Structure 1
């Protein structure tokens, strides 16, 4: 049996619960947030000496779980710590000031500078929007099914483009969206799914662009479960952010920023206890 973990980080989101721990290398796992029994069982199996939690569901799990040494860290601090750790793992050096985007069930945008993170805005558009409207529009039973459909679709036959409005002399590039879902030349499920991803992605990118201008940065670092295995959304975000003059950096394990940040916060606490001679 492996030795007990020194620290376990948990991020309890509205849809998914993520955990992070080290056994030599960094490990990350996730479960549906509705299945807290499975999360508790995994924690018991790992037997961590210290647990640090973040996310909206942290209070629920903490109140009902028989765990010692469980503490919480703010979601924004956890995301900042986790993004920096995962970026370093990928060999990326984050700018001193940048935007950090948490694309989950909804979307939060943080301004990160000097190790501090402040929420500067966001939008209710996110993975929850894709799942809900995907079920209504195309009968997609899951986020994975919607993402797969979108990857095969073409939203140019669903959205009204600038080129559809201006035959010539368009004031902005002809391939840009003039109005989402306004053409509907196709109602094929794949095309509708791609158009839905376009609507969500473009609006997230435009929210980021406005905040980036106010914050004086041109770098947007993106993570969150909504981006995982969703190449169509990554493409829309990359293109739209690029058109506004922003560089988009996607973290490969960005879905786990919160959990990894909670882990790092716990490791710092444990290190401080060790220096003071306190039990871990």
Structure 2
């Protein structure tokens, strides 16, 4: 029997399944939950569901035959598979999952260990972004952020030291949103928000990398989907903190892909018995 991997997150639902010999990747917003449940009800007649994510237990009530997969296990399994699919032989790295919030893991030959996390993530971008701009559509928020200039809202090191030589690179942030006011444009406020999220994530990941002597940062999670501004801001500290950023193409689906792979292996093992 075929398998469907579901990542039931707080904001988005990501689904991976195989049809006609190839994998299919689907994303639905929480507003589409009823439609997703109806579709999966039909799909579950011929497939076994393996569900992970923050709402997995809740979804398990609707699909009592479904298998619940631990979120951290699914995310790590999916990330490894994504790297393998992209022909990467990387075995040791810091894994950064930017979903509604952010979790940071150490991955090596011994397995996967969650090290720390932050409440800053996609939920922050949507919630605070909406409060700052009045916009609620994810893709519109991303578009506006891409066009913004955070230097018009953030106080930079350059602003503080002016003509003096600064002890750190001048483009770095001295204070987030310190120059913002009621006249600040939506685009600029959103880019400042994107940068604040990215800065916090990188500083946390850097602490983890220094403690475990790992320099490769693998970024996954739905907040990176079609979000070039966030990716750009996540790479801005490479010279200062010495890390190598990696963005798997299907990184938003790491959790659902991991659930799919774990389910596929479980079904294969069961069929062999």
The two structures share one fold, judged by TM-score above 0.5: yes
Residue 33 of structure 1 and its aligned partner are, at CA, apart by 3.1
* Secondary structure at 1:56 match in 2: coil
List aligned pairs for 1:264-279, cutoff 5 A: 264-276=261-273
Give distance in 2, aligned partners of 1:77 and 1:208: 19
Q: Secondary structure at the match of 2:237?
A: helix
- SS of the aligned residue for 1:169 comes to coil
2:62 paired residue among 46, 61, 64: 64
**How far has the Cα of 1:243 moved from its partner?**
2.9
Residue 239, structure 1, aligned to residue 236, structure 2: yes
Deviations 1:236-259 (A, max 9, x none): 001135531111101111111000
Deviation at 1:209, TM superposition (A): 0.6
The answer to whether 1:111 aligns with 2:117 is no
Query: Which residue does 2:51 correspond to in 1?
Result: 53
Q: For residues 255 and 42 of structure 2, what CA distance do their matches in structure 1 show?
A: 21
Partners of 2:52 and 2:68 lie apart in 1 by 6
Show structure 2 runs of 5+ residues with no match.
none
Q: Specify the SS of the correspondent of 1:53.
A: strand
Runs of 4+ in 1 over 4 A off after TM superposition: none
After TM superposition, list the pairs within 5 Å mapping 1:138-153 onto structure 2. 138-153=133-148
Distance (whole Å) between structure 1 residues aligned to residue 194 and residue 249 of structure 2: 20
Matched length = 269
Q: 2:75 aligned with 1:79, yes or no?
A: yes
Q: 1:219 to 1:195 in 2, by over 3 A?
A: same
Which residue does the alignment assign to 1:255?
252
Asked whether the equivalents of residues 106 and 123 of structure 1 are also in contact (C-alpha less than 8 Å), the reply is yes
Judge conservation of contact 1:36–1:61 (CA < 8 Å) in 2.
Answer: no
Q: 1:44 aligns with which of 41, 49, 54?
A: 41
Say which SS state the counterpart of residue 77 (structure 1) adopts. helix
- How has the CA–CA distance of structure 1 residues 34 and 241 changed in structure 2, closer, same or farther, with 3 Å as cutoff? farther
Give the root-mean-square deviation of aligned CA atoms. Answer: 1.6
For the 8 Å contact 1:77–1:116, the answer to whether it is kept is no
Gaps of 5+ in 1: none
- 1:131 partnered with 2:121: no
Change (3 A) 1:138 1:85: same
1:34 CA drift (Å): 4.8
Distance 1:158 1:49 in 2: 50
Secondary structure of the corresponding residue to residue 171 of structure 2 = coil
